[in-house]
């Protein structure tokens, strides 16, 4: 019978490159102590990478830069899936997704309906902040990013160029989600978003 480590290796071998793992993913293969011991050894022999406490990854292989590990966004998606929580990007992360900024965040902040925590990675930090039910009720894939991005930019710093970009990307939002999120947004942001509806009329 294969041991815990052999079962974990087989599991990882069958996963795609870039997959994020947690110790509980291997709970069927042995006790917590056996799993943790196996993961510690696999990190030591550089079979997998320990990204942060309790978070591991199978690297991509690049002929140009060698091993490449999952980024913050991939890790956040894995956390959301594992913990069955919603995560909402804020600040530069939201602006970046909308094309309002080309600056890559060094520290990522997400609102969540789950527990607050900070995950320190080798080159960045992911902060999960407990959000109000109102923020987490935003449901449009695009419009929720718009709300978060504009809160960060601020009314005083919001430019006509940014408004044009916002209205352009909102053309791809579902009308029912856009109307829903307008009601939840701060008034000035809701007024900006409402122009996308007027353009459709």
pLDDT in tens, 14-56: 998 889 999 999 999 999 999 999 999 999 998 998 988 888 9
Length of the chain, please?
A: 201
Classified by CATH at the fold level, domain 4-68 comes out as: Arc Repressor Mutant, subunit A (1.10.10)
Query: Could you state, in order of their start, the residue ranges of all structural domains in the chain?
Result: 4-68, 85-200
**pLDDT of 63 over the 80 cut:** no
Minimal CA–CA distance to 127: which of 84, 76, 83? 76
**pLDDT of 198 over the 70 cut:** no
Minimal CA–CA distance to 71: which of 53, 51, 89? 51
- Cα 136 to Cα 69, 156, 199: the distances in Å are 29, 25, 27
* C-alpha torsion angle, residues 26, 30, 31, 35 (rounded to 10): -50
pLDDT band at 200 (very low <50, low <70, confident <90, very high): low
Q: Give the pLDDT score at 61.
A: 77
**pLDDT of 154 over the 90 cut:** yes
- Output 199 or 168, whichever has higher pLDDT: 168
Minimal CA–CA distance to 85: which of 107, 122, 52, 117? 117
Q: What is the pTM of this model?
A: 0.79
Whether 125 and 108 have beta carbons less than 8 Å apart is answered as: yes
Give the integer Cα–Cα distance in Å for 188 and 88.
Answer: 20
Using DSSP, state whether 89 is helix, strand or coil. Answer: strand
Q: Do the strands 49-52 and 55-57 form a parallel or antiparallel pair, or are they unpaired? A: antiparallel
DSSP 122: S
Q: Give the pLDDT score at 169.
A: 95
Token pair for 146: 């718009």
Q: Give the pLDDT score at 148.
A: 96
Q: 1 CB contacts (<8 Å, ≥6 apart)?
A: none
Q: Give the pLDDT score at 152.
A: 94
Minimal CA–CA distance to 164: which of 185, 141, 195? 195
Question: Whole-number mean pLDDT of the chain?
Answer: 90
Whether 70 and 48 have beta carbons less than 8 Å apart is answered as: no
């Amino acid at each position: 019978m294969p041991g815990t480590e052999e079962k974990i290796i087989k599991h990882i071998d069958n996963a795609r490159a870039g997959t994020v793992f947690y110790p509980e993913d291997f709970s069927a293969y042995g006790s917590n102590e056996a799993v943790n011991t196996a993961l510690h050894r696999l990190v030591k022999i550089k079979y997998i990478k320990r990204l942060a406490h309790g978070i591991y990854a199978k690297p991509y292989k690049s002929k140009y830069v060698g091993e490449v590990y999952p980024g913050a966004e991939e890790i956040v998606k894995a956390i959301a899936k594992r913990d069955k929580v919603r995560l909402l990007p804020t600040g530069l992360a939201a602006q970046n997704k909308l094309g309002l900024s080309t600056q890559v965040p060094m520290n990522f902040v997400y609102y969540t309906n789950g527990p607050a925590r900070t995950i320190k990675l080798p080159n960045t930090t992911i902060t999960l902040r407990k959000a109000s039910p109102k923020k987490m009720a935003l449901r449009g894939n695009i419009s929720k990013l718009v709300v978060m991005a504009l809160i960060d930019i601020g009314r005083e710093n919001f430019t006509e160029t940014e408004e044009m970009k916002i209205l352009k990307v909102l053309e791809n939002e579902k009308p029912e989600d856009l109307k829903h999120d307008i009601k939840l947004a701060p008034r000035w942001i809701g007024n900006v978003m409402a122009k996308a509806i007027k353009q459709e009329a």
